[in-house]
Amino acid sequence: MTEQLKPADPVLHLDRVSRTHGHGAAEVHALRAVDLRVHPGELVAVMGPSGSGKSTLLTLAGGLDSPTDGRVIVEGTVLGDLDRKKLAAVRRRSVGYVFQDYNLIPALTAAENIALPRELDGTSARAARREALAALEELNIGELADRFPDDMSGGQQQRVAIARALIGDRRLVLADEPTGALDSTTGESVLAVLRARCDAGAAAMMVTHEARHAAWADRVVFLRDGLLVDETARQDAGSLLVTAATNARKDGDR
Amino acid sequence: MSIRHGLLALLDQGPRYGYQLRTEFEARTGATWPLNVGQVYTTLGRLERDGLVEAAGEDDEGHQFYAVTDEGRVELRRWFDTPVPRTNPPRDELAIKLAMAVAIPGVDVAAVVHGQRRHSMQALQDYTRLKGRALAADTGSGGDLAWLLVLEQLIFQTEAEIRWLDHCESRLAQHAERTATAEPSEPAAAPPARRAVKSRDRGRT
Ligand SMILES: Nc1ncnc2c1ncn2[C@@H]1O[C@H](COP(=O)(O)OP(=O)(O)OP(=O)(O)O)[C@@H](O)[C@H]1O
Ligand SMILES: [Mg+2]
C-alpha cells in the first residue's frame, strides 16, 4: 500500500513496531512487528487478554517508551529522531494520554491538574483555567474543579484524567482503560465525549476489555501475545438493521 | 417472541386494522423483527378464535378494525405480570456449531471463534452507531424510548456473546496446554485419551 493513495496522512503510524523486555531466557516479546495507522477522525479500540501488549502499544504510541525495533510516527514526526526536550513538547502538545492508573498529581486540584500541560506550553494561567473548567464541564464534573484527587472517588479521578487528556487541541488521544472505574452510563458518556472528539477530527486509540465500549470505535483491533491477530473492517457495508430501522421511521412518521 | 401479545398490547390502545398494527409494531421495535401483513392477519384470526379480540367494523376504505375484548385485557395483564420463561433456552446455532467443532477432527475451532468474534463485534459496532443516532434524535416520545430499549437489548446480548467467545478462546488454549502436557506420558494411547478429554470438556460447556 502506498502512502500517496491514503485520503489523509495518519496522525499515528506504528511502523512494524516491536518491544522486547529482558534478555535470553527471560526475554518477553511484549509486541511483535505491529503495523497500525490511526487517521484523523478515527477512534480505534484495542482489545486482547491480559498481558497481550495493549498498554505497551499505547506507551509506545505516546512516546513514553521506545520500541526495540520499528518506528513510531506522530503527525509525520518519527519520535525516535527527537531529543528529550522535543519529545516532551510533542507529548504535551499533540498527545493526550489517559493512564490506566490516572497519574494525577495529588498536590494539585482537579482544575490545576488539567491546566498544567497548557500552562507548561505557555498558555496564560487564566486561559488555562478557563479551558480546564470547560473540559470538566464536558465530562459532567464541573463541581470537582477545586477538589484534590485524594478527595475524589476512583471514577471521578478517572474523569479528571480524561479531561486532562482532552484539553487543548490534541490531535491524538491515547486512553488505557478509560472506563475501567466507571458505571455503565457514566462509561458511556465518557465514550460519547471521546467519540465527539474524533468526529471533530482528532484521532484516538483506547484500550478496553469491554466489547460494548469498544463498539463505539470505528475499528477494533485484537492483540494476542504481542501480535495483532485480527481487526474489524474500517467501514462496514451497512447494518442488518439500518435500512429496516429507517423504513420503520418513515412508516412511523406517516 | 410473542406476536400475539404484541398485537394485544397495541389493540389495548384502541381499535386498529391489520396494516396499522404491522406499522406500529415495527415502529416500536425498530423493525428488528419484521412482520408481514399475512402474519398479522393469521395472528388476528387466532386471537379472534380464542375470544381475545373481536371485529369492530370497517371504515369507508374497507379496512377491517379489531378491538381487544375483556378476556384479551386479562390475558395481556397476565403477560406483563409473568416473567418470560428462561428455563427452556431456545436452540443457539453458535453453541451447537462450537459443540460440533470441538468433536470433529480437522476443524480449526480457534478460527471459528475468531471469525465469529469479528462478525459479532462488527454487529455490535453497527448497533452502537444506531444507538448513537437514536440518542441524538431522542425527542422524548415513547416510540424513541421503545426503540432504544430494544437496541440496547441487542447490544447487551451481543456483548455477552463476545465475552463468551473470549472465554471460549482461553478455555481452548487451556485445554490445548493440558492435552500437550498429558500426551508424552502415554504415547501409545494418545488418540483415545485425547478424545476422552474432549468429550468431557464438551459436557461442561
Ligand atoms: N518492564 C517490563 N519488563 C518485563 N516485562 C514487561 C515489562 N512491561 C511489560 N512486560 C510484559 O509485556 C507483556 C505485555 O504487557 P502489557 O502491560 O502491555 O499487557 P496488557 O495487554 O496491557 O495487559 P493488561 O490487560 O493486564 O493491562 C506482559 O507479558 C508483561 O509481563
Ligand atoms: Mg494494560
Domain boundary among B81, B114, B144: B81
Q: What is the pLDDT of residues B13-64, one digit of tens each?
A: 999 999 999 999 988 887 778 888 899 999 999 999 999 999 998 989 989 9
Q: What is the pLDDT of residue A6?
A: 47
Torsion of CA B98, B102, B107, B108, to 10 degrees: 80
Identify whether residues B32 and B129 lie together within a single domain.
no
Specify the residue with its C-alpha closest to ligand 1, atom 11. Answer: A30
Please report the number of interchain residue pairs, chain A to chain B, with beta-carbon separation below 8 angstroms. 89
Domain boundary among B81, B102, B131: B81
Report every protein residue that has its C-beta within 5 angstroms of ion ligand 2. A 55
Q: What is the pLDDT of residues B60-105, one digit of tens each?
A: 998 999 999 999 999 999 999 988 888 877 888 999 999 999 888 8
Identify whether residues B74 and B105 lie together within a single domain.
no
Identify whether residues B111 and B179 lie together within a single domain.
yes
Report the half-sphere exposure of A234 (CA within 13 A, side-chain side).
Answer: 6
Q: What is the pLDDT of residue B13?
A: 93
Q: What is the pLDDT of residue B54?
A: 95
Q: What is the pLDDT of residue B143?
A: 62
Q: What is the pLDDT of residues B158-172, one digit of tens each?
A: 999 999 999 999 899
B20 occurs within a structural domain: yes
A72: confidence class by pLDDT, cuts 50, 70, 90: very high
- Say yes or no to pLDDT of A4 above 70: no
First-last CA distance in chain A? 48
- Say yes or no to pLDDT of A168 above 50: yes
The residue-averaged pLDDT of B114-120 equals 94
Q: In terms of residues, how long is chain B?
A: 205
DSSP state, A142? G
Domains of chain A in sequence order: 2-102+170-253 (3.40.50.300)
Least confident of A30-39, A60-69, A227-236, B196-205: B196-205
**Residue in chain B nearest A253 by alpha carbon:** B27
The residue-averaged pLDDT of B132-143 equals 74
Angstrom distance (rounded) from CA A72 to CA A54: 15
Average pLDDT, chain B: 85
Percent over 70 (pLDDT), chain B: 86
Identify whether residues B52 and B142 lie together within a single domain.
no
A213: confidence class by pLDDT, cuts 50, 70, 90: very high
The region, left, alpha or beta by phi > 0 then psi within -120 to 50, assigned to residue B83 is beta
C-alpha cell of residue B1: 417472541
Identify whether residues B118 and B39 lie together within a single domain.
no
Looking up cell 416473567, which residue turns up?
B83
CATH of the domain at B9: 1.10.10.10
Average pLDDT, chain A: 87
From A197's Cα to the closest Cα of chain B, the distance in A is 14
Answer for the pair B9, B68: CB distance below 8 angstroms, yes or no: no
Q: How far is the CA of A52 from the centre of ligand 2 (A)?
A: 8
ipTM over 0.90: no
B159 occurs within a structural domain: yes
Looking at per-residue pLDDT, the higher value among A192 and A205 belongs to: A205
Q: What is the pLDDT of residue B26?
A: 87
Q: Say which amino acid occupies B83.
A: P
Answer for the pair A17, A60: CB distance below 8 angstroms, yes or no: yes
Angstrom distance (rounded) from CA A136 to CA A167: 9
C-alpha cell of residue A26: 527471560
C-alpha cell of residue B191: 488418540
Angstrom distance (rounded) from CA A89 to CA A101: 22
Nearest CA-CA partner of A227 in B109, B114, B44, B107: B114
Q: How many domains does chain B have?
A: 2
Q: Check CB contact of A192 with chain B, cutoff 8 Å.
A: yes
Q: What is the pLDDT of residue B74?
A: 95
Answer for the pair B16, B24: CB distance below 8 angstroms, yes or no: yes
B86 occurs within a structural domain: no
Domain that includes residue B196, residue range = 93-204
C-alpha cell of residue A169: 487541541
Site from B25, B128, B148 to mutate, A interface, most A CB atoms within 10 angstroms:
B128
Identify whether residues B162 and B66 lie together within a single domain.
no
Q: What is the pLDDT of residues A110-154, one digit of tens each?
A: 999 999 988 988 889 999 999 999 999 988 899 999 999 999 998
Residues of A whose CB is below 8 A from B23: 251-252, 254
Q: What is the pLDDT of residue A186?
A: 85
Identify whether residues B50 and B120 lie together within a single domain.
no
C-alpha cell of residue A238: 451497512
